[in-house]
Every structure is written in structure tokens, then in C-alpha cells.
A = this chain, B = another copy of it.
Amino acid sequence: MNAEIVAVGTELLLGQIANTNAQWISKRLASLGIPVYRHTVIGDNLERVVDAFTAAQYRSDLIIVTGGLGPTEDDMTRDAARSVLGQDLVEDAESMEKIQQFYTNNQKVMTENNRKQSLVLTGAKVLQNDEGMAPGQIVEKEGKVWVFLPGVPSEMKMLVQERVIPYFRETYTLKSEIASEMMRFIGIGESALEDELSDLISQQTNPTIAPLAGEGEVALRLTATGESDHEARTKIGSLKEI
């Protein structure tokens, strides 16, 4: 199972925020042994979101989408998903009740556009959102797994930790864990380090070794897979001793 992460939101393309959601989700997927092959950021434009979703479903087994689930007109994710997956949107009763309850509790009048936040794709597993209004959704279609999550980080994180990961562990056989560790070197260039370790680098497949240049230092990234996080870390430990 390989994954990609699609973030929807013009604020990312204007540089107002960095896509830290993709970073956070990638770490979680790595710890589940699911390799991430791509991150995409796309703006609040229906045609471009549809294009991004269409390309993603050809490439990847698991597509995680963040953002674009709010109540306003520029929130495109639901409409794009309906179009690409060919499934209707229906109101999720539990989500709608929670939205109405929020307005009642806060003595505010609910505006009509809030109904939109309770819409989910037909047949979706609805992931109730404890931190906000729009629920997450998991949709399995034609061998592909889609996960739709709000873009607000606290809501996204709650849903991944409390809903998505437990569901994945129940539903799929997640064989290997990926562990990754950095070893940092100061006073040696990236190329000299690779040169010294070239035999080791080319012979190793698990863990793999990648030299990386940073600000004023060089690092080796050791990445191992194993049946458990412990097994993967043990492999890294053995290599570090060499």
C-alpha cells in the first residue's frame, strides 16, 4: 500500500502557512509502514482539485486529503470528491445534530451554509470530529482508500489518532513498521561521507542509508523496515555500530 497526501487550500499556495499537516501525517504513516510517495498542495478551485484527485487515484492506493471541508463556497473538497468518486453527498445525521447543538449551546443562529459541513459521501465511514464540526470520512472504492480530513491541524490530528489509525489497524494487515534515524556529522562534507561509505551504501537495502546536507552539517538517514518498530530500530542499531 502506497500513499499520497493532497492538501486543498489557497492559503498554502499564497505561503501564509506551511503544509505541516502533510509532514505530521507522513510521520504517522511511516510508523505504520506505509510509504508516502507524494505530497500535493492545490488551491480552492474545483477544476484543479478534481484534476489532483483524478491523478492521485491512478497512482496511489491510499489518498489522504486535508482541507476544503468548511462551510463556505470556497470549500471544494466535497464537490470534487463527489465528481471524481461518482458518489452522492448525504447529510450525516450525527454530524448535523452536533452542529445544531453547537449553535443552540452558544445561543447563536445557525446559518444555512453550515448544513454543508454535515455532508458525507454515500457509503463513507464517517469519522466523528471531537474538535470541530466537519466530520472526517473514509471511502473505499475500486481498490483505493480515500481519507478526507479537515485542514485545521487540531481537528486533523484528533481524527488521525483517534479514528483513522485504529481503523487501519483493524482493517488492513500493516506488516512492516518503518523507523528512521539521523546520524549527524560535523566537519566532513556530504560527498566525502558518501565516498567513505559508498560500499556500505550500495550494499545495504534494509536499513537504507542516505547522506543529506543541512546547514553546516552533514547527516546520514538510516531507514529500516521490520515487523515492529522495535525490530526496525534494532536493525538501525546494528548498522550504527559499523
Contacts and interface: CB of A to CB of B under 8 A. Distances in A.
A161 interface: no
A36 interface: yes
A46 interface: no
B18 A20 contact: yes
A12 interface: yes
A156 B237 CA distance: 34
A190 B111 CA distance: 10
A184 to B, nearest CB: 12
A16 interface: yes
A198 to B, nearest CB: 8
A44 B211 CA distance: 12
Contacts of A16: 27, 180, 182, 221
Interface string A52-87: 100100000000000000111110000000000000
A22 interface: yes
Contacts of A70: 190-191, 211-213
Given A15-B27, A19-B22, A110-B191, 16 more contacts: A10-B221, A12-B39, A14-B178, A14-B180, A15-B24, A15-B25, A17-B23, A19-B19, A37-B42, A38-B48, A39-B41, A70-B191, A71-B189, A73-B201, A111-B192, A111-B195
